[in-house]
Amino acid sequence: MVLKTIEALGPIHGYGIARRVEQTSGDRLDLNYGTLYPALLKLEQEGAITSEWGFSDNNRKAKFYSLTADGRARLVKATRDWEETAAIMARFLAGSGVA
């Protein structure tokens, strides 16, 4: 969700990522900032995103995250994996799975 949000919106700060995920989910997901920021740090250390300090719309200093080429590739793979998992689950829930 983080990578997709950054891809969709371009450079964005952590609070913006959290709000977008919450809005996209129809407020069914409530992101815990204690989970989000370590995830952002991990993605940055792995080379999927980069960060740069800037100023938010309300003129506060914030770290803005951008997707790298590696991050785009990870997003493509994660999307493909998720679609495959969802298709498998749909077969089971429909009762047409092979015994």
Radius of gyration for the alpha carbons in the chain, expressed in angstroms and rounded: 16
Alpha carbon distance 40, 71 (integer Å): 12
> pLDDT tens digits for 27-68?
999 888 899 999 999 999 999 999 999 998 889 999 999 999
CATH code at 12? 1.10.10.10
Tell me the residue range of the domain where 12 lies: 2-94
| Cβ atoms 21, 29 nearer than 8 A | yes
Q: Is residue 83 part of a domain?
A: yes
How confident is the model over 5-20, as a mean pLDDT?
Answer: 96
Q: Is residue 99 part of a domain?
A: no
- The pTM is what? 0.85
Question: Which DSSP letter does residue 31 get?
Answer: -
Q: Which of 28, 94, 74 is nearest to 86 (CA)?
A: 94
pLDDT the model gives residue 1: 94
Q: Is residue 61 part of a domain?
A: yes
Q: How many helices (H) and strands (E) does the chain have?
A: 4, 3
- What percentage of the chain has pLDDT greater than the value 90? 86
